[in-house]
């Protein structure tokens, strides 16, 4: 059973592409009828997204394709923000460093997650070739000199 608190929140600080993925997941688990879903999403928005959404004709949001109509309008707002999202994802990836107390497996998982976000924003286009990606993985792992020598010595 879906609760009101489970409705994905969208405001000026939310990553829009992530919100859209959460909406897809929410639609799978909500008890709200298709004709009610867009209204529920709009009531869980703040800022510019809500300003855009509340100006959509109610007949377009209160129908079975209401969520699609809502997203089509929001896409217009966020289309110009795709570059900004890409820059934020690149910055997040490039600045990520392993803390010395973090285990290496957790670091690698987070490194891969951040890189996957970049690739998704580029619609599947790889940003780095394998050698550069391996270099970044090692360089950002925050290893000491002895650990780096060991890693580089392996064939």
Q: How far apart are CA 24 and CA 21, in angstroms?
A: 5
pLDDT at 1 over 50: no
User: Which of left, alpha, beta for 142 (phi over 0: left; psi -120 to 50: alpha)?
Assistant: left
pLDDT one-digit tens code per residue, 50-76: 999 999 999 999 999 999 999 999 999
- Compute the chain's Rg from CA coordinates: 20
SS3 content of the chain, % helix, strand, coil (to 5): 65, 0, 30
The pLDDT value given to residue 8: 96
For the stretch 71-83, pLDDT in tens is 999 999 887 667 7
Residue 84 confidence class, pLDDT cut points 50, 70, 90? confident
What pLDDT, on a 0 to 100 scale, did the predictor assign at position 13? Answer: 83
Provide the 10 A C-beta neighbour count for residue 85: 16
Contact indicator for 16, 41 with CB cutoff of 8 Å? no
Mean pLDDT of 80-108: 87
Task: Note the pTM of the prediction, 2 decimals.
Answer: 0.59
């Amino acid at each position: 059973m879906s609760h009101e608190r489970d409705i994905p929140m969208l405001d000026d600080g939310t990553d829009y592409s992530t919100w859209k993925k959460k909406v897809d997941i929410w639609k799978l688990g909500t008890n709200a009828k298709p004709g009610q879903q867009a209204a529920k999403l709009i009531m869980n928005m703040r800022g510019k997204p809500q300003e855009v959404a509340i100006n959509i004709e109610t007949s377009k949001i209160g129908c079975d394709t209401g969520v699609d109509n809502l997203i089509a309008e929001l896409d217009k707002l966020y289309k110009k923000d795709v570059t900004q999202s890409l820059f934020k994802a690149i910055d997040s990836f490039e600045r990520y460093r392993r803390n010395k107390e973090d285990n290496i497996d957790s670091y690698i998982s987070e490194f891969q997650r951040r890189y996957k976000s970049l690739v998704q924003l580029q619609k599947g286009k790889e940003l780095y070739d394998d050698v550069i990606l391996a270099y970044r993985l090692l360089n950002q792992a925050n290893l000491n000199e002895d650990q780096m020598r060991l890693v580089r010595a392996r064939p």
